[in-house]
Amino acid sequence: MIGNLKPLEILLIIAVILLLFGAKKLPDMARSLGKSARILKSEAKAMKKDDEAGAATATTAEQTATQDAPRTIKAAPGDAASSRPVAEPNHSAQN
């Protein structure tokens, strides 16, 4: 869409932006936009590292866990009283 704009139209858009926000506020707005972009980029990298570390830890934990541990039904966050063990079905007893 930007490729379809003529130079005069681009100058008109810039002039309207300058009139609306004022020349004094535009550098501050650009600076804060740059800071926000840097913060977003660093947070995305941190989340990616956390996901990779969590996946490696999860696979290690799964390999070391035994299957004899009782399974539990997870309750809503903060509602620990309603968690309870689940009995495994015994298929050989039914036949």
pLDDT single digits (tens) 27-81: 888 899 999 999 999 999 999 988 888 777 766 666 665 555 566 666 666 665 6
Tell me the backbone φ, ψ of residue 67, rounded to 5 degrees: -85, -5
Inside any domain, residue 95: no
- Taking the model in full, what pTM does it have? 0.40
**Total domain count for the chain?**
1
* Residue 39: domain span: 1-53
Tell me the backbone φ, ψ of residue 58, rounded to 5 degrees: -65, -40
- pLDDT band at 18; cut points 50, 70, 90: confident
Inside any domain, residue 1: yes
Query: Residues with Cβ < 8 Å from 48, sequence gap 6 or more?
Result: none
Q: How far apart are CA 28 and CA 53, in angstroms?
A: 38
Inside any domain, residue 29: yes
Inside any domain, residue 42: yes
Q: How far apart are CA 85 and CA 73, in angstroms?
A: 7
